[in-house]
Amino acid sequence: MVKTPKINEKKYRNAVLFFAKKIQNGTLGKLKLMKLLYYLDFDFFEKYGRSVTGDEYLRFEYGPVPHMGEKMLKKMAGNEIKITRRRVADGLNDQMHIEALKDFDLSVFTKEELLMLEEIADKWEKFTGTEMKHASHGEAPWIATKPDGVIDYNLSYYRNKHAEMERL
């Protein structure tokens, strides 16, 4: 049984709102949001030794998933975010599109956290959730963790740094 992580709910909610406000090109579905949170927490951990949300991530089929992600979205639905089912261009899948209903509060984040939020949003803005899922499947945290297991944050130190391998 996985224990409930000690999350920072204010930062968690505001990170969701930040991504929902920042990524307005129609690509922000639930799958993509879960990957954005993963990259936010693991990139921040790699640089500063701690996560932003405090959540732990599980190795599921669709990539790393924050343990409290689904519960947080349910709490926020209706008053902070709007979740609507949309058909996507491939015609095969539906997207659980996420839209912010209110602004995020910058004051809950440190300067370093805000910079990381911006960096993650800018880097992944044009990618789909499926593309992000495939990217996460190529990283050490995913590869080294058993299915349905908790991903160790320390595995972030073994990831391909800034896509050096892609440039070879």
| Per-residue pLDDT at 168 exceeds 80 | no
Q: Are 36 and 19 in contact (CB under 8 A)?
A: yes
pLDDT of residue 160: 65
pLDDT of residue 1: 46
pLDDT of residue 167: 34
Token pair for 8: 């920072």
pLDDT of residue 127: 93
Token pair for 166: 């892609």
Alpha carbon 29 to its chain's center: 11
| Range of lowest pLDDT (28-42, 59-73, 76-90) | 76-90
CA distance 26 to 136: 21
| Per-residue pLDDT at 166 exceeds 60 | no
Q: How many CB atoms lie within 10 A of CB 114?
A: 13
The contacts found for 101-105 with CB under 8 angstroms, 24 or more apart, are 102/17, 103/17, 103/21, 104/14, 104/15, 104/17, 104/18, 104/21, 105/10, 105/14, 105/17
Q: How confident is the model at residue 11 (pLDDT cuts 50, 70, 90)?
A: very high
User: Using the 8-state DSSP alphabet, how is residue 115 labeled?
Assistant: H
The predicted model gives 76-80 an average pLDDT of 95
| Per-residue pLDDT at 163 exceeds 50 | no
The burial class, CB within 10 Å (0-12 / 13-18 / 19+), for 60 is middle
Q: How confident is the model at residue 161 (pLDDT cuts 50, 70, 90)?
A: low
Using CA atoms, how far residue 15 sits from 4, 10, 88, 153, in Å, is 19, 8, 24, 19
Domain ranges in the chain?
9-156
pLDDT of residue 164: 40
Residues counted in the chain: 168
